[in-house]
Amino acid sequence: MHNSCPDQGKGLFSNMTSIGLYVVLGLALAAIPSFARAQEGATPPPAQPEPQGVPVPDGPALNTLELEGGLVIEDIKIGDGYQVEPGGAVVAHYHGTLKADGKVFDSSFQRGEPVAFPLSGVIAGWQKGVPGMKVGGVRRLTIPAALGYGERGAGGVIPPNADLVFIIQLVDALQIEDVKVGEGEAISGQCVAVTTYTISDENGKVLEQSEDGKPPMIWFPNEYQPLAFGLDGMKPGGERKITAPKAMNPANPNSTHPTDQKVVMTVKLIAARNLQQRR
């Protein structure tokens, strides 16, 4: 397990498909199933109210930038929180329309729930257009077909060669601080990683950690979502602080790690091997 050979494909969710923007973004997180089952004779939990739609923000552009390839970035509101870097992970509301006729093909605003996802698993227009946003900000992206779904379209709701327009509201983001930068090739996407680690809550209380005198932890892909989102770009020998919002650490009764809360992880990467992505 001392191989440090990241050689990874397009990201965590690039092979997942469904209708609407779940095709475009490759998101699986908005519909994570619950595995909890009520014990026989137990009182079932109260029904949760259905999420209500929220208004889609709009307004004049405070600044406009056109990138190579025709991607147009317009900031409607500048956030004041953490700034997203390339390859990061975000919690965001989005509203996707076809540029040609304004038809809505998917909208988390209409469902009333933001979605958490890594930028490594989304279309190129998002990968290029979201970095630089700060939490609390609202941005409009006009994405040419070549940076979206090109000639093939998506899911029967996005035609071939369709330019797309998204309104994006950045609700939260994974925060990364590299305490020490390692050496060698960087992790990119899914991998098997060997680390020592500490997981704390937002107040600094230690919830879980690797034990002295015992072998380091071997993590498998998607075993623990905060780590899966936060390892991207690390190199063997590096140390990183990862702060994951609650939305990136959903409840999972099958997990042995702390879930359903904001967590802060300190990770020392000993070795990693990236896995071949399915095409």
pLDDT digit string (tens) for 50-83? Answer: 668 999 999 999 999 999 999 999 999 999 999 9
Q: Which of 42-46, 54-58, 136-140 has the lowest mean pLDDT?
A: 42-46
1 is a domain residue: no
237 is a domain residue: yes
Q: Which pLDDT value is given to residue 190?
A: 87
Q: Which pLDDT value is given to residue 141?
A: 98
- Do 108 and 195 lie in one domain? The reply is no
Residue 12 pLDDT grade (very low, low, confident, very high; cuts 50, 70, 90): very low
Q: Is the pLDDT of residue 185 over 50?
A: yes
Secondary structure of 19-46 in HEC code, one letter for each residue: CCHHHHCCCCHHHCCCCCCCCCCCCCCC
* Number of domains into which the chain is organized: 2
Q: What is the rounded CA–CA span in Å between residue 76 and residue 98?
A: 19
Tens of pLDDT, residue by residue over 147-183, are: 999 999 998 899 999 999 999 999 999 999 999 999 9
Final residue of a structural domain among 156, 173, 190: 173
Helix (H) / strand (E) element for 244: namely strand 239-244
69 φψ region: left (φ > 0), alpha (ψ -120 to 50), beta (else): left
Residue 29 pLDDT grade (very low, low, confident, very high; cuts 50, 70, 90): very low
Contacts of 48 (CB under 8 A, 6+ apart): none
Residue bearing the bigger pLDDT, 184 or 27: 184
46 is a domain residue: no
Q: Which of 25-29, 95-99, 135-139, 255-259 has the lowest mean pLDDT?
A: 25-29
Place of tokens 């552009």: 61
Q: Which domain holds residue 218?
A: 176-274
Final residue of a structural domain among 155, 173, 191: 173
What are 250's two structure tokens? 């959903």
238 is a domain residue: yes
- Do 254 and 152 lie in one domain? The reply is no
Q: Whole-prediction pTM value? A: 0.78
> With pLDDT > 90 as the criterion, what percentage of the chain qualifies?
73
- Do 119 and 64 lie in one domain? The reply is yes
Tell me the average pLDDT across 99-123. Answer: 94
Q: Which pLDDT value is given to residue 51?
A: 67
- Do 159 and 227 lie in one domain? The reply is no
38 is a domain residue: no
Domain containing residue 198: CATH number? 3.10.50.40
Burial class for 275, CB neighbours closer than 10 Å (0-12, 13-18, 19+): middle
